[in-house]
Structure 1
Amino acid sequence: MTTKVAVKIRLKRFGKMRAPYYRIVVADSRTKRDGRAIEEIGKYHPTEDPSYIEVNSERAQYWLSVGAQPSEQVAQILKITGDWQKFKGLTGSEGRLKTKATKDAFVAPEKSSVITKEAITPKKKVAEAAEEPAAATTEAAETTEAE
């Protein structure tokens, strides 16, 4: 005979003091907050601006459909991502999650930009640089012979 176990979707805390980050996990309701989890379905980093939220929507929908109860905090996160509305069949299933604006890896310099294509001071040509030490050694040899 199998017994029914209450399953909760809740936050598992990681990080250090005053710098928390969480994993959204599915766990038996009797386990500790940071105890063994059945499955990890997402991440939540509240200290970033905007807060970083990542939820595996497919797995969240599955666990909600089999009766897992989200904690208050996780319910709010699921509302932000739109998973709660999708589960309940409400409008607004796209969610209201704000994403960080991505920065371009490299932007081509403009004409008025400080960035220039070439160095400000002119570079010596490689051939001239090779000739100068050779000329200096021959001059030094000639001066020693003249003495």
Structure 2
Amino acid sequence: MAVRIRLTRQGRKKKPFYRIIVANGKSPRDGKFLDILGTYDPLQEPIIVKIDQEKLKNWIALGALPTTTVKSILKKAQTA
């Protein structure tokens, strides 16, 4: 079972808001997930990324792989 760290879309039309979640690789984008790690709000002027670092490290240690989008969001969050 491939566990992925990825985004799920929340919010409404033209106003996206994303959760950073851990889910099975075969489940749909907005489907069942295992854990919520944080949020990502691209519409705020300084983009807001909130992540529970402890949960993130734990899931990565267990073998969860971030998607390319989540990987770039995490890099931007650490540099800011």
**TM-score (norm. length: structure 1):** 0.53
Pairs aligned (count): 80
User: RMSD between aligned alpha carbons?
Assistant: 0.9
Report the identity percentage: 36
Structure with greater strand percent? 2
Is 1:9 the counterpart of 2:5? The answer is: yes
Aligned to 1:96: 79
Structure 2, gaps ≥5 residues long: none
Structure 1, gaps ≥5 residues long: 82-94, 98-147
Aligned to 2:76: 80
1:20-77 C-alpha deviation (Å, 9 max, x unpaired): 0000000000101000110000000001111110000011011111111101111012
Matches of 1:56 and 1:80, distance apart in 2: 15
Counterparts of 1:1-147 in structure 2 under 5 Å? 5-81=1-77, 95-97=78-80
Task: Compute the displacement of 1:80 (Å).
Answer: 2.3
Pair member with larger Rg: 1
1:93-120 C-alpha deviation (Å, 9 max, x unpaired): xx212xxxxxxxxxxxxxxxxxxxxxxx
Matches of 1:56 and 1:31, distance apart in 2: 23
Higher relative contact order (CA 8 A, sep 6+): 2
**TM-score (norm. length: structure 2):** 0.94
